[in-house]
Amino acid sequence: MLTGAGMSVESGLPTFRGANAFEPPREGSGRPLRFEELASPQGFARDPALVWSWYNARIAAYAGARPNAGHEALAQMEALYEHFLLATQNVDSLHRRAGSRNVVELHGDLREARCSKCGHRTVIAQNGLPVEEIEHRCGGRMRPNVVWFGEMLPAQAWERAQAAAASADVVLVVGTSAQVYPAASLVTLSGRAYVIEINPDESAVAGAVDAALRESAAHALPRIVRSLAVGRPNARIRWH
């Protein structure tokens, strides 16, 4: 299972690309920035206050959002299978908040900050980290605990995701444009799996999947879980 920002559109959150994408961040002069210019170690070194003010708005939006029927369906799907792993690129924590447990967050979790020097981690309040509080006592600077452009994915998360993709029978690819690597490479790593894309539009890997449902996540996933649960009355699954 690989999910991306489209998963949370029906929770009211914007994507990074395409029709539902967020407004580009702007620097002091009003010039729109490419996301890669902001979400990178270089962007943070150039203007940490700008980076934090952009992320603080995301943190508040995420805190105000609720998991949708798609997130809930994936939490239920997990209960049906002994081997199940949900690899997400999302940092909005909605999968965990919907009850998914076998989750790897490839790009981190925006509910946390970490010191860029000593690695100390803290939980961020729901309205974000005030810019006056970003200096850490070790002399380093607190940053969002997410993966930025040019950075490695968390090693353990990436290893688990790769191993799951390589051994999977079925891989669902939901709500991702599959343009950002290495996460997108999970689709091609899953050589022997039957790959199903769930996305109203074609992603960059649309040509490499076995089946595509051109539907939204919150529509398609509950239906799939209902079908999978047929004939499995003992499955640990709850219905609403």
The Cβ of residue 7 has, within 10 Å, a number of other Cβ atoms equal to: 31
Of 3-11, 54-62, 115-123, 231-239: span binding ligand OAD (CB under 6 A)? 3-11
Binding mask 156-195 for ligand OAD (x = CB under 6 A): -------------------xxx-xx---------------
Q: Out of 1, 5, 73, 193, point to the residue binding ligand OAD (CB under 6 A).
A: 5
| Nearest residue to the partner ligand OAD, using Cβ | 6
The two three-digit tokens of residue 130, written as one number: 């005030």
Binding to ligand OAD (CB under 6 A): which residues in 33-92? 35, 39, 89
| 240 given a catalytic annotation | no
Of 4-12, 114-122, 134-142, 162-170: span binding ligand OAD (CB under 6 A)? 4-12
Least Cα distance to 200 among 209, 210, 187, 213 occurs for 213
Least Cα distance to 153 among 184, 117, 188 occurs for 184
Q: Is residue 217 involved in binding ligand OAD (CB under 6 A)? A: yes
The Cβ of residue 178 has, within 10 Å, a number of other Cβ atoms equal to: 24
b/e sequence 67-80, b meaning 16+ C-beta within 10 Å: bbbbbbbbbbbbbe
Number of residues that bind ligand OAD (CB under 6 A): 26
Residues that are catalytic: 107
